[in-house]
Structure 1
Amino acid sequence: MLSPKARRKTKKALKKKLKERMNDTASEKVRNEIKESIIILDEQDAHPRRPRSKYAGEMIQMDASSFHWIEGEVWHLHVAIDDADGKVVGAYFDRQETLKGYYEVLYQILINHGIPAMFYTDRRTVFEYKRKDKPSDAEDTFTQFSYACHNLGIEIKTTSVPQAKGRVERLNQTLQSRLPVELRHAHITNIEEANVFLNSYIKKYNNQFALRLNSTKSVYEKQPSMEKINRTLAVLSTRTIDSGHCIRFQSKFYFPVTENGDRRFFAGKTNCMVIETFDGQLLANIDDNLYLMEEVAEHELVSKEFDAPKEAPKKEKKKYIPPMDHPWRKNSFANYVAKQKHRCGANV
């Protein structure tokens, strides 16, 4: 059994022993098995070397690693590393490889560095085009994430070959060796504490391992405003208004309301788009007009017949609805989704 972290010297020695065994055996079956083992060893190193990117922010390699980061818990660590200087620019734990995890990593990059030029990601897992078993565009992670990147001007390049993004693959191996020990020493017992701990640990990691190149220039674009980040890192879901004039979203019902809190009643089967912003606000786009979403309670909180009258509640302040902008227009998102489906069909 060869360790996945074996060095070339170890592989070379094993290959030599296999050849000696193949020469010493008379069994054709055993010889064929040894030949297959030698071919596998050769294929592990059969990928061309690639120089680092010239500029910081030119290429960000991104991936998620599933591992027992603390005893008895399997989490997915979403990470991003700059190809130019090996600096970790974002990291976030989640229980699965999720859109939220990659949005959190992108948020860290935007806040701390700015807008990068390109992401290099894995095509085989979460970064896939819409599959037949996906019931809605909201669950199609690649389309959601790539649409956000499209609106920020970030290119996405995908690969199914792990060696092509070797920088982030080696980062995963290093973190799997070191981070569980650090979490144990810090007495981390849950995923929330682990994500807080990552902030300080990544700084420590970069001080130790990132290259210190004074000549490395940055091509990160200027950091966007928090309002733009909240709008762009949003989850967009298509819905239909039901016969009760409500929108069903995540097993709850909502009325579309104006800034003044006035409900709007639309005919059943009216198409709309639910927008869940990065900071958790829920909005509804109906005919390219934005509305707040007011949850419909399962039971009345106060009975007019049997509860004693209370003081009149203070009038709520007018709530803020952000201006309609390009990422939230239904046609923009629908056209982008259609383009992804067409591209997917062309690649099949």
Structure 2
Amino acid sequence: DLVVELKTKKYWGTNFSHFTELLAERESIALSQPTVHRILRGTGIVSPKKKKKIRAHWYRKRKDCPGMMVQLDASPYRWLGGSKLPLHGAIDDASSNILGLHLCKEETLKGYFEVARQMIGGFGIPISTYSDKHTIFFSPKGKLTIEDQLEGRTSANTQFSRAMSELGVSMIPAGSPQAKGRVERLWGTLQDRLIQEFSLNGIKDVESANKFMKKYIKKFNRRFSVVPKGEPAFRKLGKGINLDYILCSKISRKLDGGSAFSYRGKYFQLVSGGKVAATIP
């Protein structure tokens, strides 16, 4: 039987639901899921999808409108079959749409900035983000600078929280992994499906994976997104605003008497018209 042969050879690692979709997408074989399940189970084939025992916990209701809250997280996993690599991601709380994915060699500010860039470019600026208390998002230092106090801040900024503040996005810390249920479930689904997609499409390196995922997100959202109750709350980036000047690291330095400052062991001097620039004392 062709279906059994394809499952055991070409698509051996896929679960039954994913296999049914791939049959229609790649082999032009349109069968219902119950039919595929019956054929495979009749030959003793079992779906590899793991059934985890879930403990009962408080369920948090979805937000009504897309863009009201976006969950951010990273999942270290053997996405390319070798060593563990963290996949950075953002998922909309109301619709379960993936808003951005980016694979790096380690969990970094750069990875989350890239996810934010994809989100803003494809959907818009959300009202709030929801994440764990990783130091990329929230500073462990409670001490504020004089500038922070004058601006009315109640906690020290990280580079990411500073960027979100410039965009007008509120950041909400999650108290536990269970509180981030939707993004945690996303990782389980991607671990089950994305690895197979990488393999079927010959994806073997980080650069190719990131390029592939930008297209895969659309496919995933068509399959798994839910219809939200309300209209999107995402905001468009204002005209004339360069996102590169926001999603970046900004470091403060003091000028000395010679209109110069040091940064990472190098010395820089402000010059205007071939002369040392005058600065306000």
Q: When the two structures are superposed, what TM-score results if normalisation uses the length of structure 2? A: 0.68
Are the equivalent residues in 2 in contact too, given 1:80–1:105 (CA < 8 A)? yes
Aligned pairs for 1:315-334 within 5 A: none
- Could you say if the C-alpha distance between residues 240 and 118 of structure 1 is closer, same or farther in structure 2, counting changes exceeding 3 Å? same
The AA in structure 1 aligned to 2:53 is R
Confirm or deny that 1:56 pairs with 2:66. Answer: yes
User: Offset at 1:170?
Assistant: 0.6
Corresponding residue SS for 1:235 = coil
* Aligned-partner Cα distance in 2 for 1:287–1:162: 49
Counterpart of 1:188? 203
Corresponding residue SS for 2:64 = coil
Corresponding residue SS for 1:66 = strand
- Could you say if the C-alpha distance between residues 265 and 106 of structure 1 is closer, same or farther in structure 2, counting changes exceeding 3 Å? same
Q: Once the two structures are superposed, what CA deviation does each residue of 1:60-95 show, in whole Å capped at 9, x if it has no partner?
A: 111011111112232211101011111001111111
Counterpart of 1:233? 247
* Aligned-partner Cα distance in 2 for 1:192–1:186: 14
Corresponding residue SS for 1:149 = helix
* Aligned-partner Cα distance in 1 for 2:50–2:263: 44
- Could you say if the C-alpha distance between residues 264 and 202 of structure 1 is closer, same or farther in structure 2, counting changes exceeding 3 Å? farther
- Could you say if the C-alpha distance between residues 263 and 109 of structure 1 is closer, same or farther in structure 2, counting changes exceeding 3 Å? farther
Confirm or deny that 1:129 pairs with 2:143. Answer: no
Structure showing greater Rg: 1
Counterpart of 1:112? 122
Corresponding residue SS for 2:209 = helix
Give the CA RMSD over aligned residues: 3.0
* Aligned-partner Cα distance in 1 for 2:122–2:256: 43
User: Offset at 1:54?
Assistant: 0.5
User: Offset at 1:251?
Assistant: 5.4
User: Offset at 1:216?
Assistant: 3.3
State the number of aligned residues.
Answer: 220
* Aligned-partner Cα distance in 1 for 2:192–2:104: 19
* Aligned-partner Cα distance in 1 for 2:265–2:84: 27
The one of 182, 206, 215 equivalent to 1:200 is 215
The one of 174, 178, 186 equivalent to 2:193 is 178
Q: Which has the higher contact order (CA 8 A, sep 6+)?
A: 2
* Aligned-partner Cα distance in 2 for 1:170–1:287: 54
For structure 2, the residue ranges without an aligned partner over 5 or more in a row are: 1-48, 143-155
Counterpart of 2:231? 217
User: Offset at 1:224?
Assistant: 3.0
User: Offset at 1:201?
Assistant: 0.9
Are the equivalent residues in 2 in contact too, given 1:79–1:91 (CA < 8 A)? yes
* Aligned-partner Cα distance in 2 for 1:154–1:249: 30
Counterpart of 1:148? 163
The one of 49, 53, 58 equivalent to 1:7 is 53
Are the equivalent residues in 1 in contact too, given 2:135–2:158 (CA < 8 A)? no
User: Offset at 1:209?
Assistant: 0.7
For structure 1, the residue ranges without an aligned partner over 5 or more in a row are: 9-43, 133-140, 267-285, 289-348
